[in-house]
Structure 1
Amino acid sequence: MSQLEGTLIAGRYEIREHIATGGMASVFKTWDHRVERIVAIKVLRSLDKNDLRAVERFRREARAAAALAHPNAVTIYDFVEEGGQYFLVMEYIQGPTLKQLITQRRRLQVREAFEIACQVCSVLQVAHARGFIHRDIKPQNIMLTWNGITPLSQDLSSGLWVKLTDFGIVRVAEDAGLTNSGIVLGTADYLSPEQARGETLTASSDLYSLGVVLFEMLAGRPPFVGPTAVSIAMQHASTNPPLLRQFNPSLPISVERVVMRALEKEPGERFHSAIELQQALRACLRELVQQGHPAVASPWQGLASPAGGGGPLFPPQRQYP
């Protein structure tokens, strides 16, 4: 994909810099000459231009994602077909992924983890109401930015803003034959049991994956680990997860209860909606704040001054005209 750098797409999008490559897509920082702003362009790897069904699915998912206007969803600006390749043009987020934050911090504070999860719940509630399942909730798809806005609640003022990306990409990959038995290579850590078994997914599947993300934020590791993606997927399908406090004994039991309910094997035993999970997180946090529990006593540290030093997570940004 590096050969795309310097390419002008659709007469307006100048690809400037490779940002990241995942299991299914590569992302580039791009300059939009028409409106003079930096955007991100995502190219779905291995999409066969002759596979008309996959191409049409990519178009439909791009349109659906673009219609999902929500402050916690990465905005889709354009869909471009050129030179046998297919590009999603989207909002560029200057900030780290949640995975990068976890890697640096290992564990997040309860207040931090709950705030991030609550914002993801906000966009999932809207998406699920429209019959749209994300299918790939993971820290790599959760972008973090810092702008002084407080979207969560009146009693928290962190300024953190969460952006969920990659709506529909997994569905496209499945239709194009880029996944194996429903397992997305490289993201088995976050699969719901039904996804691991190749069964029909529901909104509850996203909530399970978000529960895994919560577990990782608070424990410093996902609930299941193994030598291969298949071995991890099998654990999600049939093995009860370890208790959260096994890895972080200082956590209140109320925090563990919320996270473990999200990780129930049977969808009907999980939270019934994203808003219900969000309300449970807020109620738990509110109770801990009222109790003056030490788990929430420390202030939000902010992304610019991470725990343990190491400098800001925001590197100096290259300036484009």
Structure 2
Amino acid sequence: MDDLPSGTLYAGRYAVVRLLGRGSVKQVYLAYDRLTQTQVALARLAERHGSDASVGARFSREARASSTLTSPFTVRVFDAGKTADGERYLVTEAVLGRGLDQAVADGPVAPELAATWTAQVLCALSEAHARGLVHRDVKPENVMLSPTRGDRIGEVARLTDFGLAKILDQSLEGSIVLRTAAGVVMGTPDYMSPEQWAGAALDERADLYAVGIMLYEMLLGRVPFEAPTLLALAGLHCHAEVPPFPADAPPPVRAFETIVRRALAKRPEDRYATAESMRSAVEAAGGIRLPPPPTVRALIPDDEVLHAVGYVELMSDAGVGPVQVLATPRLLLGRTGHVVARCLPPSDENDRRSRSVSRRHACIEWHGGYASIVDLRSASGTSVNGRSLAPGREPFRLEHGDEIGLGPHVRFLFEHAPTTAGALPPWARLTRIDRHGAGITHVLVLTEATVACAPDAAIVAPPEASTATLTLRARGGQLVALRDESEMPVALFDGQRWRLGDTTWTVAIHDRRGSTPGAPR
């Protein structure tokens, strides 16, 4: 592939800034995403991969799955696609720094550094494994060390290239592909587990084996198994004992020997069962503590966490909204729910109106092709089109255009997209219509909703042909966005900006308490 000169507009969206690196599989550029107005890393895949139809299907599937990962220790996947010329590309978060392979090239690193970076990689793997993703090619070359400010360590480990080994039947430089009677062996030889060498089915414990190799390498400056040929190396990984730590190694280094031996057990069932359990052991040995890993939410929360679902707020510079969007077909209405109290500007009178709504006032839930509402024994009652609902009784079926009343002061218009019998509609909408909070819109993305940039509209479906739009889809308990159908869904994050026509929409992520977490590093 020829290099792209600075200023090239790639795939109609990414302005090339400069080349970051190249190898046999891909070229990586620093680029500027004109849609989200952020710097990104743009990877162009080698022609022999991009022209293979089966590779293309796997590439899109794995990249879509990887795009749901949001750990601060994962390099986020934003986009994947194919240009008009048939060239495939991958767009990720731009992480400038050095690779872990560069850090260990000069020998061992301090035990505290080894423990911190290992725990961060395990935190990234914990989220991925919870979502059913196995990296398959964990190695120092796939760990970026990103400089940070105000941190004693100074660098944060970020795991990258999720799924590439599975996508390409080959990972980055230094990895191998062997086709055997048992299957396909893929990975980087020095970090491959025994079951990987055998071409057997892999689970998350293969990733933990590779992390154990990396930890050994960081502490001692070399990998545990070295051999002149692949066959000999395979034999060591499958049968040889882990070389003991040197007797003269300092105690902070020897503290990790038991952890390494367990991670490198020949049988997967003898290793750590999860990345989280291995991370706890590493933290204890290194005397460090990382924040807990992100929780993977179910798409439909149960009653116990009904009130804990967060929401995405979209605010435009054209005065539209704010639009509050949720990826759940069950919605709690009340002062501790997603609506009502926060819609009213602060004042004594509005505080009184808000208190007329119970903390858990009513609940809307979807049952296939229709929605129902039930009053949760509220103090001031729930009504539909002026008809009071019996507290705690059978759910009342809602129809498109119904007016919902919560107590004497708060009213909503309920709407949903057309649907066939028994099918879940793509979206539903609650719009405040009382004079105290008129125009505030809450959207339930049941499968899909569309944001329009028209000055007088916020959420529309279907959009006008001439309107620039952003499509939101519910996926795995979170919302993802598509600029158009030719692009891969992108996970939303706090502070993200989308330019649609002449309107810029800004994303704010709120948790169940209404607070906004910081943007990812």
AA in 1 matched with 2:31: T
Q: 1:164, 1:146 → 2: CA distance?
A: 14
Seq. identity, %: 34
Alpha carbons of structure 1 residues 183 and 244: separation in structure 2 relative to 1, 3 Å: farther
Q: Tell me what 1:174 maps to.
A: 169
Aligned partner (choices 89, 92, 106) of residue 91 of structure 2: 89
Higher deviation after alignment, 68-77 or 47-56: 47-56
Q: CA deviation at 1:88?
A: 0.6
Q: 1:50, 1:243 → 2: CA distance?
A: 47
Q: 1:117, 1:22 → 2: CA distance?
A: 26
Residues 1:143 and 2:138 aligned together? no
Q: Tell me what 2:10 maps to.
A: 9
Q: Tell me what 2:269 maps to.
A: 268
Q: Deviations over 1:171-228 (max 9, x none)?
A: 012289x82234447x211111111111111110000000000010011011112234
Q: 1:149, 1:73 → 2: CA distance?
A: 20
Residue pairs, 1:156-305, within 5 angstroms: 157-174=152-169, 179-181=177-179, 182-184=184-186, 187-245=188-246, 249-251=249-251, 252-286=253-287
Q: 2:117, 2:216 → 1: CA distance?
A: 12
Q: 2:74, 2:124 → 1: CA distance?
A: 6
The answer to whether the 8 A contact 1:145-1:161 is kept is: yes
Alpha carbons of structure 1 residues 85 and 107: separation in structure 2 relative to 1, 3 Å: same
Gaps of 5+ in 2: 289-521
The number of residue pairs the alignment matches comes to 277
Alpha carbons of structure 1 residues 179 and 5: separation in structure 2 relative to 1, 3 Å: farther
Would you tell me which structure has more helix in proportion to its own residues? 1
Alpha carbons of structure 1 residues 209 and 46: separation in structure 2 relative to 1, 3 Å: farther
SS at match of 2:256: helix
Greater relative contact order (CA < 8 Å, ≥ 6 in sequence): 1
AA in 2 matched with 1:53: S
Alpha carbons of structure 1 residues 140 and 3: separation in structure 2 relative to 1, 3 Å: same
Q: 2:241, 2:103 → 1: CA distance?
A: 27
Residues 1:61 and 2:59 aligned together? no
Residue pairs, 1:89-128, within 5 angstroms: 89-104=91-106, 106-128=107-129
Q: Deviations over 1:61-92 (max 9, x none)?
A: 11111111111111112112111111111111
Q: CA deviation at 1:35?
A: 4.2
Q: Tell me what 1:293 maps to.
A: none
Q: CA deviation at 1:128?
A: 0.7
The answer to whether the 8 A contact 1:24-1:173 is kept is: no
Q: 1:26, 1:191 → 2: CA distance?
A: 25
Q: 2:71, 2:265 → 1: CA distance?
A: 28
SS at match of 1:90: strand
Q: 2:43, 2:215 → 1: CA distance?
A: 27
The answer to whether the 8 A contact 2:170-2:186 is kept is: no
Q: Tell me what 1:42 maps to.
A: 43
Would you tell me which structure has more strand in proportion to its own residues? 2
Q: Deviations over 1:136-178 (max 9, x none)?
A: 100011011122366xxxxxx43432210000100012289x8
AA in 1 matched with 2:65: A
Q: 1:188, 1:26 → 2: CA distance?
A: 23
Q: 2:24, 2:160 → 1: CA distance?
A: 15
Alpha carbons of structure 1 residues 209 and 117: separation in structure 2 relative to 1, 3 Å: same
Q: CA deviation at 1:123?
A: 1.1
TM-score (norm 1): 0.79
Q: 1:60, 1:225 → 2: CA distance?
A: 35
Q: 1:75, 1:87 → 2: CA distance?
A: 15
Q: CA deviation at 1:49?
A: 4.5
Higher deviation after alignment, 260-269 or 209-218: 260-269
Alpha carbons of structure 1 residues 81 and 127: separation in structure 2 relative to 1, 3 Å: same
Q: 1:48, 1:207 → 2: CA distance?
A: 28
TM-score (norm 2): 0.50
The structure whose Rg is larger is 2
SS at match of 1:244: coil
Q: Tell me what 1:80 maps to.
A: 81
AA in 2 matched with 1:180: L
SS at match of 1:179: strand
